[in-house]
Amino acid sequence: MKNRPLLIGLLVFGVLGLVFFLWVYRTTILTESPVLTDDRIALIRIEGVILDSKDTIDELKRYRENPGIKAILLRIDSPGGAVVPSQEIYEEVKKAREGGKKKVVSSMGTLAASGGYYIASATDKIVANPGTLTGSIGVIMELANVEGLMKKVGVESIVIKSGAHKDLVSPFRKMREEERQILQNVLDDVHEQFIEAVSEGRGIPIEKVRSLADGRIFTGRQAKGIGLVDELGDLQDAIRITASLVGIKGEPKVVETKKRFSFFDLFRDQFGAKWGYFPLAPGGVQLKYLLTFG
């Protein structure tokens, strides 16, 4: 039979694919819904650009209600991201801590800036490496203007609107001064929300936070010196510190949800911060707690 090698190859490939799928599924299910009888620390990773809060909030809720989890450790390696997801995660961390229900600690990796720091400021304790880049307390909106390009290619934008400012952030014409001021007022308010959140979460006087909230970044060691970070150390130090907060003796057991690999997430994390979420795309105009790179 001429097609037998091909059929055998397809069958083997299909079986291997099924085995891999079942392994991934089993791993995810077992780690997402653990039935724990001893004291453990839950590790939640917040990595890359923060564009959505759902997965992190789901993890926080699940571990918050699990009696076998005594504390939650956030491993943050992020330049920040969109304003609302950062705020939603911040609020969920506060809920996890309410009434002394769970201790929550932040461990900062290479980068925990802007929205990443916003989230960390809600935790009981922040641990950073000496060389961690953090801070960047500020808000940014990046808009593109393609008016010159449109003229070069001979394309005219026609806008029909119901209000004077309905096309406030149109990329097809130059922004007017009064429109710039409207956007600046919005940014100033969202910036103040950031300052208030850090002041509340860290217990730092609001005027001190305001003096640091000009978008500058700090190393972990600098941040510790000005009160934005509590301890210096790596992830293992953070695990030890978290265990001591809740009285876990000896080597603590750490549980972590296994996440399925996603090429989209990889692409987004690698290029989302640099390209600013594609500002010409529908819905691409965003307020961001984000450390941007040139």
pLDDT at 294: 54
Q: Are 272 and 51 in contact (CB under 8 A)?
A: yes
- Residue 177 clears pLDDT 80, i.e. is over it: yes
User: How wide is the angle at C-alpha 74 spanned by C-alphas 219 and 50, nearest 5°?
Assistant: 80
Q: Does residue 262 have an active-site annotation?
A: no
pLDDT digits (tens, 9 = 90+) for 248-287: 998 899 999 877 655 555 555 555 544 444 444 444 467 8
Q: Which of 61, 101, 151, 166 is catalytic?
A: 166
Chain centroid to Cα 161, Å, comes to: 36
pLDDT tens digits along 181-213: 999 999 999 999 999 999 999 999 999 999 999
Question: Per residue in 216-225, pLDDT tens?
Answer: 999 999 999 9
Task: Identify whether 27 is part of a domain.
Answer: no
Q: Is residue 2 in a domain? A: no
**Residues β-bridged to residue 126:** 106
Residue 84 · residue 52 · CB < 8 Å: no
Q: Is 276 exposed, middle or buried (0-12, 13-18, 19+ CB in 10 A)?
A: buried
Crossing angle, helix 83-97 and helix 54-64, to 10 degrees? 0
Q: What is the pLDDT of residue 92?
A: 97
Q: In this structure, is residue 235 part of a structural domain?
A: yes
Whether 7 is in a domain gets the answer no
Average of per-residue pLDDT across 109-138: 98
Q: Burial letters for 168-195: b for 16+ Cβ neighbours within 10 Å, e otherwise? A: bbbbbeeeeeebeeebeeeeeebbeebb
Q: Which domain holds residue 149?
A: 35-156+167-290
Residue 258 included in any domain: yes
pLDDT for 25 beyond 80: no
pLDDT in tens, 76-122: 999 999 999 999 999 999 999 998 789 999 999 999 999 999 999 99
136 is catalytic: no
Q: Taking the model in full, what pTM does it have? A: 0.80
pLDDT for 27 equals 38
Query: Is 171 a member of any domain?
Result: yes
- Please count the other Cβ atoms lying within 10 Å of the Cβ belonging to residue 114: 31
Query: 53, 106, 107, 114: which one is catalytic?
Result: 114
* Mean pLDDT score of the chain: 84
Single-letter code of the amino acid located at 173: R
The answer to whether the beta carbons of residues 134 and 223 sit under 8 Å apart is: yes
Locate 170 and state its tokens: 């149109």
Per-residue pLDDT at 149: 85
DSSP state of 134: E
Q: What is the CATH number of the domain that holds 60?
A: 3.90.226.10
Assess if residue 48 is contained within a domain: yes
Would you say residue 85 lies in a domain? yes
Tell me how many domains the chain contains.
1
DSSP states along 139-201: -B------HHHHHHHT-------SSTTTTTT-TTSPPPHHHHHHHHHHHHHHHHHHHHHHHHH
Side chain identity at residue 204, one-letter code: I
